Amino acid sequence: MSKIQKALEILRKRSDSGPKNPKLSTSTEGVARARVRTRDLPEDGAVDEQLPEFKLSVDLEELRNHGLQPRDEYIDFVGQQFRRIKRPVLNTAFGLGVPDSDNANVIMLASALPKTGKSFCAFNLATSIARERDVGAVIVDADVLKPSISRAFGLEDRIGLIDFLLDSTVSIDDILVGTDLHGIIVVPAGRQHEESTELLASRRMRQFVKALAERFRARAIIVDTPPLLLTNEAHVLAENMGQIILVIEAGVSSQESALEALGSLNRSKPINAILNKARGASFGDYGGGGYGYYGAPG
C-alpha cells in the first residue's frame, strides 16, 4: 500500500471513529454501493437549455501545448482511465450514489499543492463526461490566480467568473462560452482581483453555483480550483460544491499534505481522490508529458 493510499485509509478510519461519513470512500465501490433514487432527468436525456451565443472553435494542438490534451500515443489509454473515473462521479450526480445533496452535479477538482495535474484531470474528466449520450459538461475555471484552462482555450482576456461576481450587471449568459468540443461549455476565470477570496465566498457566488446547477441539470459542472494548502480561495469554493475530487500526485504528494488537504474539507460532502501520474511498468516514463496512470476516485 502506497503512502497516499495509507493517507486515504487513515482519513477513512478517522472518519469512522468520529461523526459518520458514508460519503468518504477509498474505492470506487464505496460510492456505488449506496443505492438511492435516481435523480429526475428527462426520459430522452435532453433538457431545454439556453446555450451560449458565443461559440469557440477549439484548437486541440493549443490544448496539448498547455498540457491539457494528451499526446496522440496516450489518447486511448487516458480515455480508458477517465471512463473508469467518471462512472461513480456520474452516479453521485445523477443516479445511484450517495443520498441527494445540494448541487450534486457540481464537482470540484482540488489539490493540496500545485503541479499535480489537476487542470489536466478537470479537462479530461469533463471531456469524458461530455461523450456520454445523456449528460453534457461545463468547465468552470475558478483557479482565478492561475487560470490554466482559460489560457489553454485562449480565453484569458475574456469576461469571466470574477467579472460576474464584481458587477451585478454582468449576467451568466455573458460569461458562458460554447465550444465545438463535444458541446462542452466553458466559464473563463475573468480578470484577476485582489479580493478574489471574498468574491468567491460571496452570496453572489453561491447564487451562481446554484443557478448553474439548475440551468444545466443534465450536465456535470467541473470546477477547477486553486491548491488547498496555498490559497484561501479553494476552501471557500468547497462549501458550494456538491462533490469534491482531490488530485494526488503519485510519488510526489506527501502523506502529510494529502491528510492536511483532505482534513480541511467538509466531510459531509462526497469526497474522492484521483491518484495521478502513477506510472505502470508497461508504460514507462512519459518524460515531460505530465500524465500517466489515473486511478479511479477513491
Return averaged pLDDT per consecutive 10 residues of the chain, 298 residues in all: 53 47 35 36 55 92 95 92 92 70 90 88 97 95 94 96 97 97 97 92 94 95 91 85 88 72 80 75 31 33
pLDDT of amino acid 288: 26
Is residue 158 a part of any domain in this protein? Answer: yes
Grid coordinates in use for 157? 482576456
Q: What is the pTM of this model?
A: 0.80
Is residue 259 a part of any domain in this protein? Answer: yes
The residue assigned the cell 477549439 is 58
pLDDT of amino acid 268: 79
Query: Rg of the Cα trace of the chain?
Result: 18
pLDDT of amino acid 13: 56
pLDDT of amino acid 233: 81
Closest listed residue to residue 8, CA positions, set 228, 291, 263: 263
Is residue 295 a part of any domain in this protein? Answer: no
Is residue 191 a part of any domain in this protein? Answer: yes
Report d(CA 202, CA 222) in Å as an integer: 20
Is residue 42 a part of any domain in this protein? Answer: no
Report d(CA 285, CA 111) in Å as an integer: 23
CB 241 within 8 A of CB 106: yes
Domain with residue 261: its CATH number is 3.40.50.300
Helical (H) or strand (E) element with 223: strand 219-224
Phi then psi for residue 141, to 5 deg, are -85, 95
CB 188 within 8 A of CB 141: yes
Where are the alpha helices (H) located in the chain, listed in sequence order?
3-17, 28-33, 60-65, 75-94, 118-130, 148-152, 161-166, 172-175, 196-200, 203-215, 233-238, 255-263
Q: What DSSP line would sit under 226-253, residue for residue?
A: --TTT-SHHHHHHTT-SEEEEEEETTTS
Report d(CA 85, CA 102) in Å as an integer: 22
Is residue 117 a part of any domain in this protein? Answer: yes
Is residue 70 a part of any domain in this protein? Answer: yes
Q: Which domain, by its residues, includes 259?
A: 3-25+51-289
Beta pairing, strands 177-179 & 185-187 = antiparallel
Is residue 149 a part of any domain in this protein? Answer: yes
Total number of domains in the chain: 1
CB 180 within 8 A of CB 215: no
